[in-house]
Structure formats: C-alpha cells, structure tokens
Structure 1
Amino acid sequence: MAEDQDRQEEIRARAQATKSVGAAIEAAAAATESEKKSKGKKWNRRFKPSKRTKAARRARGVRTETHPIPQAIKMVKGFKNVNFDESMELHVKLGVNPKKSDQQVRGTFVFPHGVGRSKRVICFAEGPAAEEAREAGAMEVGGEELAKKIQEGWFDFDVVIAHPAMMRVVGRLGKLLGPKKLMPNPKEGSVTPRVGQAVKEFSGGKAKYRVDDTGNLHVVFGKKSFDEQKLIENLEAFLQHLQSVKPTTAKGTFIQKGYICSTMSPAVAIDVGPYAS
C-alpha cells in the first residue's frame, strides 16, 4: 500500500511539474507575442516627413522620364537650395564590361567653364622640372622627402603629378595612393614630362573620370550657382568627349542612361540619345 501511495505521489508531482512547464511556455509565448505587437506599433508609428523629404518624393517621378539637357538643368537648379553651393553631378550607365581590360573607360577632361573648384596638386619632380611645377602652382614639389612625408600619413592633397623619371620613387607609394585613387597614371595625364602644364590643368579643375565595377561613370561638371548656359555647355562637351572614347570592343549602345543632380537634390533623367552610339 505504501508503494501505491508513493506511485500516486510521483504521478501527482509529475502532473504538477508538467502543468508548471506548460504555464511557463504559455507565458513566454504571450510575452513574445506582446513584444512583436509593441515592436510593430513602434515600427508603424506615423511620423511627419520634412519639407525636403516631401520635395524629394514629389520629384521622384521625374527620374523615369527623360528630359532634354537644358530642361533637366533648369529642373535641378529649381530644386530648393541648401546652405552651400552644391556641385552638379552627371551619372551615366555605359554599355561596357569593366572586367575586360580593353573596355576600361578612364581619362581626363577639361571643362570649357571649369567646375568651380580648384584642386590641391603636389608634384614629384627634380631639377628644372621641379622649378616648372612650383611656378605653375604646385603646393608641394619634391622626391624622396615628399614620398617620406606621404609614408608618414600626410594626404592633404587632391592630385599627384609625377615626372616619368620619378616613378621609381612614386611606385613605392602604390599601396598608399592606389586605394585613395591618387596614384599618377599616364592615361590620365598625371605622369608626364610637361609637369608645369599638368599642374595648371589639374589645379584649375581638370576632371578625372573612370568607369566603376558596375559600368557606371560619375563626374562633377560644375556648381549649381553656374549660369544655366555654362552648365549646358559643360555637360554637352563632356558627353561628346565620352562618346569619342568608346572602346572599339564595346558592342551596342555605349551611353545607355544618364542622370544629373546636385549634391542634395533628386536625380533627373536626361536624354542621351544624341550621344548614345
């Protein structure tokens, strides 16, 4: 009989434990559901969008419809100004495969009316070439001592010009300058014996461009404060230039899509038809 009582006690204890576990599971499930609901309410909480957000939403529709360049520039200049002079940007999709070395699109271009900003140029040169670079306005000119300064962490410059004879020095800086896209390159005109001319051109706003890994190319073509006609001429001149550097191995439409915007504005699609092939 004592054995039966013990068995009954054990059964009752197990039942009580099972009941407690079930209650704990139900409580945890209820808490989880409550947390989900509270998070959902928080996530779905209404907020009042800013004026800039509202303007961007209204303008978003212009992205899909293409516009002639003069009209597109007028639209971008018509967007609300911010408290600084915004850059005007061009973004184009090119019909190239950037993974192929013979379809790399890169180079430099001097805009007819500049881009509204000067660049800090340094130059690796010695002797008469160094003097030529200084007279042209290079902020730093040198050889081994300039390389050492960069190796110690100095990067307060925008463009590096190098005389071909100095590439033995500049080559050692590849791991430092390469990731920052500052490494001089003959195709971009930054490795040249005519260092004085290069310094003047880059200081005055000569633009470097290069297609990225996705086949897109980005370049600044002026400031929002520029006269509309100057922006039109800058943009059209660059598109004509870009058309002229189409790789011979690229098939089909070269300039497929184009958008312009200012630093803080929505993008406006432009008609690139005249420059597409």
Structure 2
Amino acid sequence: MAKLTKKQKAAAAIVDSHKFYDLDEAVKLVKEAASAKFDETIEAAFNLNINPKYADQQLRGATVLPAGTGKTKKVLVFAKDHKEDEAKAAGADYVGGKELADKIMQGWMDFDVVVATPDMMAVVGRLGRILGPKGLMPNPKVGTVTMDVTKAVNEIKGGKVQYRTDKAGNVQVIIGKASFDEDKLKQNLLAIFNTIQKARPASVKGVYMKSLTISSTMGPGIHLDISSVAAPKA
C-alpha cells in the first residue's frame, strides 16, 4: 500500500471516516481536502443496491451538469455530407469518416468523446476493440449515436457526463473541480443524484442507494448523509 504524503495525511485528519456529513459540510470539506498543486477533480461515487448481472438492472446514461465539468472535452464526430458541416459549425474538434477511423486504428487517440450519425456506424463498428474498453464507443443510450450532431456536440462541450454501473453496482461520476465554488459543486451533485435516482430499475426492492461518497483526486472519501442530498436545505 502506498504511503500517504504529508498533505494527504493532513487532508485525512480533517475528515472523520466514520461520519456521514450533510450536503453543505461534505462539499465544504471536499474542497478543503483538495490540497494538491493542480486543480483536483471532484467525483461522486454511488453504491447501489442493484445486480448488474441482470440486464434490467444495468444503469447507463448521461446528463448535463448545470455548472459544467471544468474541462473542455475534445469531440470527434463521424459524419458525412451536411451533417459533417453541422458538426463543424457546432464546434466539434474533429469531423470525418474513414480517414479518422484509419488514424485511430494506427494509434491516434487525441479526443475525449466520440459521436457518430447512425449511417456512419458501419465505419465506426470496426473500432469497437479500441474504443470499447476505453468507454468511447458511440452509443444511442448516452446520446452519442444521433442525427442531431449539433445538440450532441453542444451538450458535451457544455458539461455532459456519462454514467455506468460497474460489476459491483457502483457508479462514479465527475461533478467538477476543486476550484469550483461550493454552490456549483452542489448543483452538479444534485443533478447527477436526481438522474441516478430517476434511473432506479423497477425490479429493485428496498433501499436503492446504499452509500454516496465524494472525493477529490488526492483527497479522502467523504461519506454523505443521503437524506440531506435527497432533501437539501432551502
């Protein structure tokens, strides 16, 4: 196990690992615990009472964070004809077809999100082994296979994040940067919380969200009192 640095020990000292903090306290603490020299990313981790072995309990989707992610993503769009022009006008970083697929096959990966129109999936399909493991394969469930490339690019540039359950029923999502003010982090956390809540599978019985933790890149996990997120202070 890696040794903690002095800064990490100091950050851990201000967080009680056995306490469940309310929304305001948790967001304040996660900022205080982010002491690295770079602008740390803040993530939320949900542990859900689901069994991903069953298709109807596999969560996957996307939502736009109201305060953005703090990072401008490079968007690659596979499109042709007038849709190619639309993607360029919307601000896509790279737009094209087979020539981009060939570059990717040769190892080029200078992009964060891939969007494709349905008629280009035959070209994109052969990239599954490369894009799939990295979570970059276009998928209609998260809005990255679409004819509305303008909307897709605008949402991604505006702070759209994807979420997906892992094998243990966990969902990890970026909610911003340590440099964000507390209100922006709370807005983003509430947005993803409500999205995950609405995505609750009908077959799930009893408690749905077992735990919710937020943390910065180098900071300790901070456990939230889920009831304070479900009904935040006015």
TM range (shorter): over 0.9
The residue that corresponds to 2:189 in the other structure is: 235
Aligned equivalent of 2:126, options 162, 165, 172: 172
The residue that corresponds to 1:263 in the other structure is: 217
Following superposition, the deviation at residue 50 of structure 1 comes to 4.5
User: Which residues of 2 match residues 185-224 of structure 1 at below 5 A?
Assistant: 185-224=139-178
Partner of 1:265, secondary structure, is: coil
CA distance in structure 2 between the aligned counterparts of 1:207 and 1:92, rounded to whole angstroms: 15
The C-alpha deviation readout for 1:84-116, integer Å capped at 9, x for no partner, is 111111011011101111101110010111111
Following superposition, the deviation at residue 127 of structure 1 comes to 0.5
Identity of aligned residues (%): 47
The residue that corresponds to 1:14 in the other structure is: none
Aligned equivalent of 2:135, options 175, 181, 204: 181
Partner of 1:178, secondary structure, is: helix
CA distance in structure 2 between the aligned counterparts of 1:65 and 1:200, rounded to whole angstroms: 39
> Which stretches of structure 1, 4 residues or longer, exceed 2 Å deviation after superposition?
48-54, 56-60, 273-276
The C-alpha deviation readout for 1:165-196, integer Å capped at 9, x for no partner, is 11111111111111111100000000000011
CA distance in structure 2 between the aligned counterparts of 1:242 and 1:112, rounded to whole angstroms: 15
Aligned equivalent of 1:114, options 59, 68, 71: 68
Q: Give the count of matched residue pairs.
A: 228
Cα contact 2:74–2:112 (8 A) shared by 1: yes
Following superposition, the deviation at residue 126 of structure 1 comes to 0.3
Structure 2: runs of 5+ lacking an equivalent: none
Between 1 and 2, higher relative CO (CA 8 Å, sep ≥ 6) is seen in: 2
Aligned equivalent of 1:159, options 108, 113, 116: 113
Following superposition, the deviation at residue 59 of structure 1 comes to 4.1
Aligned equivalent of 2:6, options 39, 45, 51: 51
**TM-score, structure 1 normalization:** 0.78
**Change over 3 Å in CA distance of 1:198–1:49 after alignment to 2:** closer
Cα contact 1:255–1:275 (8 A) shared by 2: no
Q: Which has the larger radius of gyration?
A: 1
**Change over 3 Å in CA distance of 1:246–1:152 after alignment to 2:** same
CA distance in structure 1 between the aligned counterparts of 2:206 and 2:4, rounded to whole angstroms: 43
CA distance in structure 2 between the aligned counterparts of 1:56 and 1:223, rounded to whole angstroms: 17
Cα contact 1:117–1:204 (8 A) shared by 2: no
Paired letter, 1:110: V
The residue that corresponds to 2:82 in the other structure is: 128
Partner of 1:63, secondary structure, is: coil
Structure 1: runs of 5+ lacking an equivalent: 1-47
Q: From the two aligned structures, give the one with the greater helix fraction.
A: 1
Partner of 2:211, secondary structure, is: strand
CA distance in structure 1 between the aligned counterparts of 2:34 and 2:191, rounded to whole angstroms: 27
